[in-house]
Structure 1
Amino acid sequence: MVEIIILFLIAAFLSILVGTVAGFGASTIFLPIALIFFDFKTALVLVAIAHLSGNIGASSFFRQGLDKKLILLFGIPSVLLTVLGAYVVVYFPQNILKVVLGLFLLIFSLYSLVRPEFHVKASRFNTVFGGGLSGFLQGLMGIGGPLRGFFLISYNLDKYTYIATISAIAVVIDLSRIPIYFANNLLDREFYYYIIPLIVVGVLASYVGKKMVNKIPQDAFKKVVLVAIIVASILLIYNGTLGG
């Protein structure tokens, strides 16, 4: 039993570490691993708690990059459209959406790597549109991080502003969904003892992630994020093609 707990917490640490550096992907990595240990409902809640803890840590450790205006313009539409996406999920074919989103992200991420000068203008419209679209897809497919990452990294933000912004938005989204999970009793009381260790691991992983980000030159940071988006897009296409 102890060995299982340790392995689970190590998986949480590594997932949040990657998510902190890239700005997204912690849940994408951690949830499939958590399903090895727990049923879906239990895994969903525990991963959400770890995700929230990691993003609170990242928001705090990268707070020098917090841009309140950008967070509001991007975050509010994202949260609102997440709810809409969750309501209309039954009307859209999930697998086709995954492939389409994956192809979009793959094409534009590869193009951005080949043409480093390419960027999306950080206008009010683009910010609201990007936040709303990523939020809608978050509610629709449970996947919004890669698209949020694409929009924000395409603004040529410095790495601290990028991570602080994307983490703060993730915190708001997590705070809106986790109480619903508990209200619906998705987590049995026998698993409550995982909560504190996951919070500690989340903060620790985000702290180590900050140390890693500090060592990545600004010029190379955007490439790191774009490569992460490319990997995420390939996984989306693969998953959608298999009907998963």
Structure 2
Amino acid sequence: MFERISWLFLLLSLVAEVIGTIGGFGSSVFFVPIASFFFTFQSVLGLTAIFHLSSNLSKIALFRKGLDKKLLLQIGVPSVIFVIIGGILSNYLDSFFLEIALGIFLIFFSLLFLIKKNLVVKPELKQSLIGGSLSGFTAGLLGTGGAIRGITMAAFNLEKSVFIATSAAIDFFIDFTRTIVYFQSGYIGKDELLYVPFLFVIGLIGTYIGKRILKFVPQDRFKQLSLVLILFIGVVMLVQVGLK
């Protein structure tokens, strides 16, 4: 069994989990590009959903005091609905142009909030519904919606424990839902299941390490750090698409 495991992939997955925890929006935005070098697109979707289930449970446990139940409902409900739609459409749509659009979107909005540092979006129902819908749809279709949710929650200027706990809780319901959709679509097979115990442990360890590092990140720097990471993700996504 062990000869079929890619240890480099698991090491990079740990790095993705640590950075995703520090940034506050989850590991999928880094995990998806990494996994795509080792697996097919459909397998990447399945592995991402499985990996995130364990990592988000860890974040909920470690940051549970910061959970915002109002935002959980306003962003989480549309996210779950649209992750089903995106997951189903992943069977039929070409992801190439969608990945380009997502990369441009992330670069534009991260730069906007980095340049206009005093720009804050109020966490009202309309903005939460739009952010949740886009996040869920891209998570189902492309495997990663955390960056869009990160943009939304960074714009709300939330305290870092609220940001991470609420984002993780939303992500958990998204991942639980899309795992079912992906399994029924045949994205999760024997090869993917081999990695489940390893990814579960990595999710726990990576979240813990990320939380320890986050103690040294001041609140006023947290939003900027998240936006810089999202900007980097957008650039990497466009570069990766160009290499295909």
Give TM-score, length-normalised by structure 1: 0.85
Q: CA deviation at 1:92?
A: 6.3
Q: Which residue does the alignment assign to 2:164?
A: 163
Q: Which residue does the alignment assign to 2:148?
A: 147
Q: Which residue does the alignment assign to 2:125?
A: 124
Q: Which residue does the alignment assign to 1:215?
A: 216
In 1, the alpha carbon distance for the partners of 2:41 and 2:92 equals 23
Q: Which residue does the alignment assign to 2:139?
A: 138
Q: Which residue does the alignment assign to 2:47?
A: 46
In 2, the alpha carbon distance for the partners of 1:210 and 1:135 equals 25
In 2, the alpha carbon distance for the partners of 1:78 and 1:9 equals 28
Q: 1:40 to 1:85 in 2, by over 3 A?
A: closer
Contact kept? 1:59, 1:168, Cα under 8 Å:
yes
Give the counterpart letter for 1:211 in structure 2: R
Contact kept? 2:44, 2:143, Cα under 8 Å:
no
Contact kept? 2:99, 2:237, Cα under 8 Å:
yes
Give the counterpart letter for 1:142 in structure 2: G
Contact kept? 1:105, 1:233, Cα under 8 Å:
yes
Moved more, 14-23 or 71-80: 14-23
Q: Which residue does the alignment assign to 2:10?
A: 9
Q: Which residue does the alignment assign to 1:69?
A: 70
Q: CA deviation at 1:35?
A: 4.8
Q: CA deviation at 1:89?
A: 5.4
Q: Which residue does the alignment assign to 2:113?
A: 112
Q: CA deviation at 1:179?
A: 3.3
Aligned-partner SS, 2:195: helix
Root-mean-square deviation (CA), in Å?
A: 2.8
Contact kept? 2:45, 2:142, Cα under 8 Å:
no
* Identity value in percent: 38
Q: 1:211 to 1:79 in 2, by over 3 A?
A: same
Give TM-score, length-normalised by structure 2: 0.85
Structure 1: stretches of 5+ with no match in the other structure: none
Structure 1 residues 71-118: Cα deviation after superposition (integer angstroms, max 9, x where no partner): 011010011122223445578664444333333332222121122110
Structure 1 residues 17-61: Cα deviation after superposition (integer angstroms, max 9, x where no partner): 111111336234334444555555555433432222111111111
Q: 1:243 to 1:38 in 2, by over 3 A?
A: closer
Q: Which residue does the alignment assign to 1:176?
A: 177
In 1, the alpha carbon distance for the partners of 2:229 and 2:204 equals 22
Q: 1:215 to 1:165 in 2, by over 3 A?
A: same
